[in-house]
Amino acid sequence: MKSNTVMKKMNRRDFLQAVALTGSGALLAACAPAATTTTDAGKEPQVNQAPTNTPAPATPTAVPAAASAVKISWWNQFSTDTCKKWFPEIVNTFMLDNPNIAVDFEISGGPPGGGNYAEVLLARIAAGNPPDTITLWDPPSGYGSRGALAEIDDLMSIATTAKSTAFYEGVLKSCQFKGKTFGLPASAGVGCFFINKELFESKGLSTNRENLPKTWADLRDTSAKLVEYEGDTPDLVGMVPWDSPWMNSVWSQLNGGTIFDSSTLTYKIDSPQNVEWMNYWLDWAENQYKGSMEKLNILYTGPDVYPDSPFQLKKAGMATSGAWACTDAGIPFKWEIFAPPPGPSGSGPKNFYWPNWFAMPKGGPHPQEAFKFIEHMTTKGWAVWYENATLDTPAWTGISPEVINKALEAQEGRERAIELQKYFSEMLKTTADVWTSPVESFASDTLASAIGEILNKVSSPDEALANAQKVVQAKLDETLKNG
């Protein structure tokens, strides 16, 4: 009745004015900055810190946070069912061990609220409201060199587990720029070559790893023995070495060159070793694929060893991938792996690795707690992931050799699983210098473009690499000068 009285006092004009005023107010309120995602220690926690937005099976052991818990946020791009199952477990274990820290996160393939991860992350960093911790799939050097990530050397020096000596030296280097460390590597999935054992055997080639190619010449010869043609179009390829641009830097170093020299912060794209490498590939394309990328690409529709790839369709005898594919690719036939061999001007092994990096954006209010979290995720936490999910070789050297990946063991047997894990871990002792440039993505795209021009005979190796060198070095110089 009371409200009726009020309504009677309002004529239509007043009502409409009120509606307009309320609408405007609501819009202004919507434009106001979001509430902070952190809760200071000592204040009442706003949320129980069980993982958010995860499916029911993912949170069976959600840990209630202590009343005084410091709330930190973790952003990631993980999305698969395996991720949804295991990361909440791993985080919960952390919260059990650290009841004074509560981690707010979701496994949804992007930032909370959706959107492109890089876009939203950059926007939040620019706005001065970044998450406390992040998982990066781009190297920390790019963010770190521009001052967006916290330096963690001091924290590492007093850390219980994540000391600088606790990670493979070459892998930790991917987090460093000018001697400062801007993140921690969790995984170091090792790049390797896969072979289809059945195809090899059908061509009378040995599938024993000891007999697999030890040099580029071996590799090219082995590839040639697998190639088959139907008319003037390839029907089976041996190997297409240029199919994985992420390996380019390693190919260069296998031939004694480098793309980026992190010690002098210079690019060396047009070095003689790299020109030799490009000529080697040109020769490979000419002799095995008649120099026609157009015809090759009709058969060879994509890289890697996952379903529907030429490798799984038995149209390629060899393919580039990484340790992770051993458990994730579901290869339906017998396979073997081997390390990329050195080139004619190279002197030894150089191995690729592909980390999941954990880092802390600069300016977070709880650096100690955030560091503890990334320390856990990159050491003991990643060991849990490694054992139960993907064969994403840990960058942490402290992992027990007793930890065997269950999927690999079920698939390949315990003995072979142990042998494979050991092989990948050994490869991490001779890693290539990768992921260390502050203009990594730009350089990678530019080099891939140059190699495309070379293989399609639009430019000569000298010309294309010189152009790429000029453009990338200029970009690096500008970045080093201006950020």
Partner 1 sequence: MTVVQAISKITMPRLSRQARDNLTGYLFVLPWILSLLVFTAYPMIASIYFSMTRYNVLNPPQWIGLANFNEMFRVDPLYWTSVSNTAYYVFFAVPLGLAFGLVLALLLNQNVKGIGFFRTVFYLPGLVPAVASTLLWMLLLNPQLGLVNQLLGVLGIGKLGWLGSPTWSKPGLILMSLWGGTGGTMLIFLAGLKEIPQSLIEAAMMDGANAWQRFWVITIPMISTTIFFNLVMGIIGSFQVFASAYVAAGNGAGPLNTLLMYMLLLYRNAFRYFNMGYAAAMALVLFVVLVILTLVMVRFSRNWVHFEDANR
- Tell me how far, at minimum, the Cβ of 80 lies from partner 1, in Å: 17
- Tell me how far, at minimum, the Cβ of 160 lies from partner 1, in Å: 31
Nearer to partner 1, 245 or 344 (CB): 245
Nearer to partner 1, 126 or 217 (CB): 126
Nearer to partner 1, 148 or 184 (CB): 148
- Tell me how far, at minimum, the Cβ of 214 lies from partner 1, in Å: 31
What are the residues binding partner 1 (CB under 8 A)? 3, 6-7, 9-10, 13-14, 16-18, 20-24, 26-28, 31, 116, 118-119, 122-123, 125-126, 142-143, 146-148, 233, 245, 293-294, 297-299, 301-302, 308, 310, 313, 315, 439, 441-442, 445, 448-449, 452-453, 456, 458, 471, 475, 479, 482-483
- Tell me how far, at minimum, the Cβ of 437 lies from partner 1, in Å: 12
Nearer to partner 1, 147 or 413 (CB): 147
- Tell me how far, at minimum, the Cβ of 445 lies from partner 1, in Å: 7
Nearer to partner 1, 23 or 99 (CB): 23
- Tell me how far, at minimum, the Cβ of 39 lies from partner 1, in Å: 26
- Tell me how far, at minimum, the Cβ of 415 lies from partner 1, in Å: 37
- Tell me how far, at minimum, the Cβ of 231 lies from partner 1, in Å: 10
For residue 342 the two structure tokens come to 């050195």
- Tell me how far, at minimum, the Cβ of 121 lies from partner 1, in Å: 9
177 vs 182: CA distance, rounded Å: 8
Nearer to partner 1, 168 or 251 (CB): 251
Nearer to partner 1, 71 or 315 (CB): 315
Nearer to partner 1, 91 or 247 (CB): 247
Nearer to partner 1, 87 or 143 (CB): 143
- Tell me how far, at minimum, the Cβ of 190 lies from partner 1, in Å: 20
Nearer to partner 1, 381 or 438 (CB): 438
Chain position carrying tokens 């005898």: 317
- The 3-class secondary structure across the chain, one letter per residue, is CHHHHHHHHCCHHHHHHHHHHHHHHHHHHHHCCCCCCCCCCCCCCCCCCCCECCCHHHCCCCCCCCCCCEEEEEECCCCCHHHHHHHHHHHHHHHHHCCCEEEEEECCCCCCCCCCHHHHHHHHHHCCCCCCEEEECCCHHHHHCCCCECCCHHHHHCCCCCCHHHECHHHHHHHEECCEECCEECECEEEEEEEEHHHHHHCCCCCCHHHCCCCHHHHHHHHHHHCEEECCEEEEECCCHHHCHHHHHHHHHHCCCCCEECCCCEECCCCHHHHHHHHHHHHHHHHHHCCCHHHHHHHCCCCCCCCCCCCCCCCECEEEEECHHHHHCCCCCCEEEECCCCCCCCCCCCECEECCEEECECCCCCHHHHHHHHHHHHCHHHHHHHHHCCCCCECECCCCCCCCCHHHHHHHCHHHHHHHHHHHHHHHHHECCCCCCCCHHHHHHHHHHHHHHHHCCCCCHHHHHHHHHHHHHHHHHHHHHHC
Q: What are phi and psi of 351, to 5 degrees?
A: -115, 145
Q: Which of left, alpha, beta for 369 (phi over 0: left; psi -120 to 50: alpha)?
A: alpha
- Tell me how far, at minimum, the Cβ of 123 lies from partner 1, in Å: 8
Nearer to partner 1, 130 or 346 (CB): 130
200 vs 318: CA distance, rounded Å: 9
